[in-house]
Every structure is written in C-alpha cells, then in structure tokens.
Amino acid sequence: MRKYFLGYILIVFLFLNGCYFEKNDTHKKLINNYPAYLGDIPYNSALDDKDFQLCDSLDIIKSRSAVSYIGGYPKIEEDCRRVLEKASNNHTYSGYVLARFIINCKKESGRFRIQSLDSAFMLQPCSDALISEVKTTIESLNNWVFTHSQNQEKDHSKYLNFLFKNGQLETISH
C-alpha cells in the first residue's frame, strides 16, 4: 500500500510540476504580446502629434474619477454637439465611435485611438471624415479638471463613446 501511495504522490508531483511550467510559458507569451497595462496608448509617430508631451509616460492615471469636466458629462455632451453641428454632418453612419485618448498634466488631449463598431459591438468601417470630426470635437474640449490634488501633475487616460444613428449623434457616454 505504501508503494502505491508513493507512486500517487510522484504522479501528482509530476503533473503539478508540468502545469507550473506550462503556466509560466503561457504567462511569458502573454507578457510579450500585450502592453504593460490594458488601455495603454503608446506613442505612434504615424498617428500622434509629436508636440503633445506627457509629463510622465510611466505614470498614467487610469481612473474614471481622476479627471472630470467643468459642468460634468452634460457639459461634455453639449460642447461636443455644438462642435459636431458645425461640421459637415453629411454622414449616414449608424453605430458607435469609441475614442480613447490621454489628457496630459497641462489639460491637453492627444494620442487618440478611435474605433467604429456596429450595434453588436463588431468592428465596422466608418468614414474618415466622421472620425476626423470626432477627434476635432474631443480636441476642442478644454475644461478638464483633475479631481484629486495628488494627480495634478500627472497624465490621465480617458475615453468617450459616441452613438450615431443615420449620421446624427444620439448620445455620448463614458
């Protein structure tokens, strides 16, 4: 009986040891394929304004409550609608336009990453003109405030989601 017991222990040990190494190899692959933090927006010279500077690219705050807008989200929506109404608006797009960006310590926005999705949240094409209008709209927002004093000198990631129906802005969410 003792012989069987030692055999079971040996089999369990080898199995767990194999799982450990498999887990570590998988973990190493994940680290190599993903950014350090989900939501990071690394600099891309083909997409980003070289004059937009971060205060500390290693310490970007990723909290919805760390940065706000004077007047809150109703004011963001009002300001965005005002800018989008001045744009051409010759669009027929229906779906979501998701915009991720960074607000630096000077309260400037940059490093825009914009995707368009259908109502099932699948990628779908959207006109470059509408993407440009959304980017210009976000760039025009200039009443950002940092809600925590310890975050005053830091950079913040932010996102806004625009829902369009037949080219008309329905709503903006965060």
Residue 4 has pLDDT above 60, yes or no: no
pLDDT 10s digits, 84-128 = 887 766 688 999 999 999 999 899 999 999 999 998 889 999 889
Between 139 and 32, where is the model more confident?
139
Instruction: Say how far apart CA 56 and CA 86 lie, in whole Å.
Output: 35
Beta-sheet pairing, 144-146 with 109-117: unpaired
Q: Are the C-beta atoms of 107 and 142 separated by less than 8 Å?
A: yes
Beta-sheet pairing, 155-165 with 60-61: parallel
Where are the alpha helices (H) located in 59-104, listed in sequence order?
72-86
Phi-psi region of 26 (alpha: psi -120 to 50; beta: other; left: phi over 0): alpha
